[in-house]
Chains A and B, each alone.
Chain A
């Protein structure tokens, strides 16, 4: 182990200055009964003095640092206890007593340097890891009103892109090293306390992970490359997120409370005309609608949004191996009636029996979630006539003003839609695990782990629209969905560790696992009610009911293993494999083998690399290769079924309406998606240990991409079949850098920075010979069935497919006067016609670069932390502007308000395919900033007060409300909010 310490001679004037400040602080805290203590701080290993070590009087912020030889001098009160600390070393406490000279030897903190990382079916010391693994501890999580565990990670890990859905409690889009699938899910695999969970949602849920209390999370580990994730085989291709929750540690009971109150407000300036502007435009240009003008001045955006509040209370108790926690959390959305309410109970129990030979680990997580879904009517609020009032007492539609007669097309009163309908989901999810680890007696280093775990979700969703709601006037409607998901996982694996000679370390893990997933659902839909009296509680009140039922069962069986070998801690090798069998595939394609190999080379320990010894403390090269799979899609896809139609889709034969029977089109030979990853990486620690990080270069090739592809017409009973059709490549580079910028008794400042670049390219699409094939993607609003993106060979995913607008005087040429489409757009193929053949690929929604920056500074009892996040080169199609920003919009089942971009563009008709709407949405965001104050005056209790602001600031050129749009099409986003949180944390 390379010894690390801080060399004051490298510190220069700046360090001496800090020393001086330290002495000044010392001067301030002199007291009458004080005396002077001197001494030297030495390295326990070689006896050399350690410069720059911290010496602090316990319980105060008074202290000093050692000089160039490790000597210190400090005036202290009689009964003082001195705390000696230095980065990378164990902290030592000495009671002063009657001593005036205190020399201490401090030793390297092996545990800190040998940080353990969970890697799936085991853990590894960080120094031995050869795969690409990133761990984020609870201290570094994002703060604020956070519901989903993945939000804790946003901006923290290079190559992990997390895009918030905007809605409260929603599922953020999580992409690890880009998108690796088109049709199957690209969400990572989640493993919670060792249990592989199915993360598919059900009706009534916002995010299936909402049953987790984020306060319980100890750390989150991300497995990014194949050598790390191959042990998860057919489910690892999209990366793995391992969530580990807290256990009781130490002997003393610990009780902790955390509570906060939050206030959220809609931010952003909607680009629509105000009532007076609207009125004058209608009067001057569209007199046919003058009679539709009212006297009101309604800001419909304000009407459909609200100031939202939230609160959380979380209590945990840890004692003697038992950790218990309870949490109650409520959060309203800025969309009216939007609300989430969670009650979560968590238990972790760890104990050892039979002379510590048997370890028992039990965990049980239960979350009740109630979701009230407010209707997001911001889109309708953009459109609605601002001169009419919200309410009209004589209205038959629940007292809400509706300008149209029933059956007439056009926008409906958005407030009525929100207020009159009810949409409530409830879900309960429970995840439990019992694990027995036995250190096999007589065989040193061999342990066997058996575990049984289950995951159950039950959910209901009810949606009710009363008879007097305009859209369903006179009929009403109700929907009732129920779902039950269960999975049972049985796993058994053995782990054997052996040191051979003094230089060889071997660790072997091998195991077997089987998992069964069941899904049941029932749904009722009634589109005619006899009355409103019973809301959704009495479906027998419905005149017409449609029902459906679903059931699926899938089974998975796997054998997996890993071999870790290291020689002299200098040469490292890890081989992982998994054989997966899945019932989701036909008999011929049921089993697959997923291997990986990674090598590590601690170059700094080589004598020929002596030159690295100056600047670096650690320098480790890694290379890994592996194969991974993706099987996240529905069951039984290889088999043709005949399904009956509903009663309103029957066909008349004579006097009978015959229920129809339809076959499904399938590919009997469907198989897994395969991803091969090559990663080359470097772990480095600069001299002194205060700057460390990693650099990665990778390429991921995904083949047999599953896509519901268009097939030649007539060869199967459908126009598309889910089949393995394409290939894609993701290439990238990632940099992580953490630094202890300042480490003084009173002032500590840690920063971490990450940057990543990922380039995605589709390399193959159809089975046909024509390489020009493309798939339409990225549905937009403003027109039925319209898309704005393509998936095309040679292009990245999410590439926009647009007409190239011609510009004059910096503005797009409008469709006015005698201007034809040919005057407005570039005729790419020169055929004199502007049509689909003139669409060209242009920009894409993926960022070229992503950055994250976290700062955490403590000054005395105050702590200030913030997270900055940035994306560069990501483009967004502004669908709000394109679908609402043209003058004829006023007349379409009008009068409608329009997006004010029309005044800029002068478009009369919608120009949905214009590249004008594809905007550079690069941004820098201050995601959250937290200021906290810890009260230390009371001995046995620690009280921390904090205030957090979320979504504080966004710097961008993008003209819409928020530049961060998953998928790159901005249409009807959930309104973004600024959240202010005030909280209190008490630990006994």
Chain B
């Protein structure tokens, strides 16, 4: 019998208490990855990448955002571009994904998934930066043993991360106006801020980091420098009247002058600004690099090139791609900004009209409305990019042409500067467009109305049209183009539509948030 009891004991001994501390073996925690500049560089690349890429696996897979099911839709620039272009006279889209047609017609609601994803994309960048700042304080770097010789470089990264956060907050201010100002990671419900608070925050951040940013045109390609900062600040100030009811036009002139003095050049051929090798252009101040092999997504320029191609007659190969997505066209109102639509006179009139109708009877039929193959995946000499699905074309965020027009506008709006300089800048762009001085204008023709039209001719499909129309008061209560307000001929809409609604998801998740007026 004793033997039997002995038999039980060894089995019981195996049942000693389990240790429930199980260390993970895949993935790395903050304190053992942020040990040198290389890791911070990789994290900074993520923050930059969050503007154009959609996740950790290219072109899709492991998406950053999951609030809509299709990862391609979560692209920052794709969502931003749609919000700035589709509600205007410059672009319409064919598709009928839930809510997308409401962007064409200014009939969105707070449940619109494209509005929602834009909002969350902006704040995703903000939170990445906030985490980056937390992981790169001197105390954390001391604790992690980051070498002292790496800290200068990391200081530049911190400045650039803050620049990107300021850029995102400018977008938030412009699109949603009343959003929370969040600078830390915490479980607390953030408080809603007002436009003045946001405006002041962006200004003070930019002023703070201005000396910390690399000198113009000295940083690595793809990374922001001080000229990019000036361009952002100029954009903010140009629209200050809209945001906070104040005139900041003289500051626009100052920043534009600084940029212009930094050695950027107008690209000789307009089309080369939007080509597969546009990284060679001396006109671009800040771009989001794309690469068909190494940097793939379904957003940004891959979207802009593919979605603009379709119909029976357009050949995708003519634009360096393997297929059209039959999405984007333009309205007759934009076409009418050009007296000659062939492009022979003004090379910026780049329409594809074969098989397309000028008028849009059906928003969801690609052949209704002219196509605008402005962005392509062909290099300047006509060869195809590295991949016919994912394009090499870098997204031009800020470029000198825009700065010229901003200077001219700020001058006309009383910001100072010089009238003949302003005229010269405008004519420099027209000379490029016409190939000679035949399209140049005289000083009497340089009016604010002209600037608005010229901005559309020069900067169409570059995600500035909505901002411009609002600044000129033509986005909602005045200004009519096809399908505005949901009517084929277009109707005026109400001014509350000048900003987008706070997404219902955010309102549900954060009890501190109030909806924007009249939504």
The reply to whether A653 and B11 form a contact with Cβ atoms under 8 Å apart is no
Contact with A along B17-47 (1 / 0, CB 8 A): 1111110111111100100000101110110
Q: Which residues of A contact B45 (CB under 8 A)?
A: 650-651, 653, 658-661
* A185 CB–B CB distance under 8 Å: no
* A663 CB–B CB distance under 8 Å: yes
Q: Which residues of A contact B483 (CB under 8 A)?
A: none
Q: Which residues of B contact A297 (CB under 8 A)?
A: none
Contact with B along A401-418 (1 / 0, CB 8 A): 000001111000000000
Q: Which residues of A contact B41 (CB under 8 A)?
A: 653, 658
The reply to whether B99 and A654 form a contact with Cβ atoms under 8 Å apart is no
Contact with A along B56-99 (1 / 0, CB 8 A): 11110110111111101100000000000000000000001111
* A47 CB–B CB distance under 8 Å: no
Q: Which residues of B contact A653 (CB under 8 A)?
A: 41, 45, 48, 220-223
A790 to chain B, nearest CB (A): 11
Q: Which residues of B contact A708 (CB under 8 A)?
A: 66
Beyond A436-B11, A717-B128, whether A768 also contacts B508 by CB under 8 A is yes
A646 to B63, CA, bound (A): 12
The reply to whether A719 and B18 form a contact with Cβ atoms under 8 Å apart is no
The reply to whether A583 and B508 form a contact with Cβ atoms under 8 Å apart is no
Beyond A642-B30, A649-B295, whether A557 also contacts B17 by CB under 8 A is yes
* A508 CB–B CB distance under 8 Å: no
The reply to whether B66 and A787 form a contact with Cβ atoms under 8 Å apart is no
B71 to chain A, nearest CB (A): 9
Contact with B along A690-713 (1 / 0, CB 8 A): 000000000000000000111111
The reply to whether A643 and B56 form a contact with Cβ atoms under 8 Å apart is yes
The reply to whether A583 and B20 form a contact with Cβ atoms under 8 Å apart is yes
Cross-interface CB contact of B39 among A652, A661, A769, cutoff 8 Å: A661
A709 to chain B, nearest CB (A): 8
Q: Which residues of B contact A714 (CB under 8 A)?
A: 123-124, 126-127, 130, 180, 182, 190
Smallest Cβ-Cβ distance to A654: which chain B residue: B220
Within 8 A of A (CB), among B376-391: 388-389
The reply to whether A766 and B508 form a contact with Cβ atoms under 8 Å apart is yes
Smallest Cβ-Cβ distance to B20: which chain A residue: A583
The reply to whether B4 and A441 form a contact with Cβ atoms under 8 Å apart is yes
* A224 CB–B CB distance under 8 Å: no
The reply to whether A715 and B188 form a contact with Cβ atoms under 8 Å apart is yes
Within 8 A of B (CB), among A631-656: 635-636, 639-656
Q: Which residues of B contact A742 (CB under 8 A)?
A: none
Q: Which of A3-11, A127-135, A193-201, A544-552 lies on the face that meets chain B?
A: A544-552
Cross-interface CB contact of A490 among B14, B55, B326, cutoff 8 Å: B14
A642 to B131, CA, bound (A): 12
A779 to B49, CA, bound (A): 28
Beyond A354-B4, A646-B58, whether A773 also contacts B508 by CB under 8 A is yes
Q: Which residues of B contact A583 (CB under 8 A)?
A: 20-22
Could you say which interface size class chain A belongs to? 35 or more
Contact with A along B105-127 (1 / 0, CB 8 A): 00111111100000110111011
The reply to whether B507 and A770 form a contact with Cβ atoms under 8 Å apart is yes
* A514 CB–B CB distance under 8 Å: yes
For A549, A556, A640, which residue has the most chain B Cβ atoms within 10 angstroms?
A640
A963 to chain B, nearest CB (A): 26
Q: Which of B262-270, B317-325, B403-411, B470-478 lies on the face that meets chain A?
A: B317-325
Cross-interface CB contact of B186 among A582, A658, A715, cutoff 8 Å: A715
The reply to whether B294 and A652 form a contact with Cβ atoms under 8 Å apart is yes
For A582, A719, A720, A779, which residue has the most chain B Cβ atoms within 10 angstroms?
A719
The reply to whether A715 and B18 form a contact with Cβ atoms under 8 Å apart is no
Contact with A along B180-199 (1 / 0, CB 8 A): 10100111111000000000
Smallest Cβ-Cβ distance to A768: which chain B residue: B511
For B4, B12, B33, which residue has the most chain A Cβ atoms within 10 angstroms?
B4
The reply to whether B11 and A644 form a contact with Cβ atoms under 8 Å apart is no
The reply to whether B509 and A438 form a contact with Cβ atoms under 8 Å apart is no
* A19 CB–B CB distance under 8 Å: no
A16 to B46, CA, bound (A): 87
Smallest Cβ-Cβ distance to B325: which chain A residue: A409
Cross-interface CB contact of A641 among B28, B220, B323, cutoff 8 Å: B28
The reply to whether A785 and B97 form a contact with Cβ atoms under 8 Å apart is yes
Cross-interface CB contact of B509 among A440, A490, A648, A766, cutoff 8 Å: A766
Within 8 A of A (CB), among B480-519: 486, 505-511, 513
The reply to whether B127 and A716 form a contact with Cβ atoms under 8 Å apart is yes
Q: Which residues of B contact A864 (CB under 8 A)?
A: none
Smallest Cβ-Cβ distance to A786: which chain B residue: B98
Smallest Cβ-Cβ distance to A441: which chain B residue: B1
A635 to B289, CA, bound (A): 36
A787 to B98, CA, bound (A): 9
* B297 CB–A CB distance under 8 Å: yes
Beyond A583-B22, A646-B56, A658-B42, whether A712 also contacts B7 by CB under 8 A is no
A318 to B221, CA, bound (A): 76
A438 to B110, CA, bound (A): 67
* B247 CB–A CB distance under 8 Å: no
B469 to chain A, nearest CB (A): 21
A652 to B288, CA, bound (A): 9
The reply to whether A713 and B107 form a contact with Cβ atoms under 8 Å apart is no
* A909 CB–B CB distance under 8 Å: yes
The reply to whether A358 and B295 form a contact with Cβ atoms under 8 Å apart is no
The reply to whether A835 and B24 form a contact with Cβ atoms under 8 Å apart is no
A197 to chain B, nearest CB (A): 18
Beyond A649-B55, A663-B131, whether A512 also contacts B29 by CB under 8 A is no
Within 8 A of B (CB), among A540-566: 546, 549-557
* B143 CB–A CB distance under 8 Å: no
Smallest Cβ-Cβ distance to B323: which chain A residue: A407
The reply to whether B364 and A783 form a contact with Cβ atoms under 8 Å apart is no
Q: Which residues of A contact B186 (CB under 8 A)?
A: 715
Q: Which residues of A contact B61 (CB under 8 A)?
A: 646
B216 to chain A, nearest CB (A): 16
A741 to B46, CA, bound (A): 72
A79 to chain B, nearest CB (A): 51
Within 8 A of A (CB), among B119-170: 119-120, 122-124, 126-128, 130-131
* B102 CB–A CB distance under 8 Å: yes
Cross-interface CB contact of A836 among B98, B122, B220, cutoff 8 Å: B98
Cross-interface CB contact of B111 among A582, A658, A836, cutoff 8 Å: A836
The reply to whether A652 and B22 form a contact with Cβ atoms under 8 Å apart is no
* A255 CB–B CB distance under 8 Å: no
The reply to whether A649 and B297 form a contact with Cβ atoms under 8 Å apart is yes
Cross-interface CB contact of A409 among B26, B65, B127, B323, cutoff 8 Å: B323
The reply to whether A552 and B24 form a contact with Cβ atoms under 8 Å apart is yes
The reply to whether B108 and A835 form a contact with Cβ atoms under 8 Å apart is yes
A654 to B225, CA, bound (A): 13
The reply to whether A712 and B190 form a contact with Cβ atoms under 8 Å apart is yes
The reply to whether A642 and B109 form a contact with Cβ atoms under 8 Å apart is no
Within 8 A of A (CB), among B327-381: 364
* A745 CB–B CB distance under 8 Å: no
A652 to B393, CA, bound (A): 13
Contact with B along A425-465 (1 / 0, CB 8 A): 00000000000101011100000101010000000000000
The reply to whether B29 and A640 form a contact with Cβ atoms under 8 Å apart is yes
* A913 CB–B CB distance under 8 Å: yes
* A662 CB–B CB distance under 8 Å: yes
Beyond A649-B57, A719-B67, A719-B124, whether A836 also contacts B20 by CB under 8 A is no
Q: Which residues of A contact B99 (CB under 8 A)?
A: 835-836
A833 to B493, CA, bound (A): 13
Beyond A448-B8, A555-B19, A662-B64, whether A910 also contacts B96 by CB under 8 A is yes
The reply to whether A651 and B289 form a contact with Cβ atoms under 8 Å apart is yes
Cross-interface CB contact of B18 among A557, A646, A654, cutoff 8 Å: A557
A490 to B12, CA, bound (A): 10
Q: Which residues of B contact A636 (CB under 8 A)?
A: 22, 24, 27
Q: What are 8 A-B contacts defined by CB distance under 8 Å?
A: A436-B11, A555-B22, A650-B295, A653-B222, A667-B187, A712-B509, A713-B124, A717-B128
Instruction: List the 10 closest pairs (A to B, CB-CB), nearest first.
Output: A407-B322, A641-B27, A654-B220, A648-B58, A713-B123, A714-B123, A712-B510, A649-B58, A836-B111, A450-B11
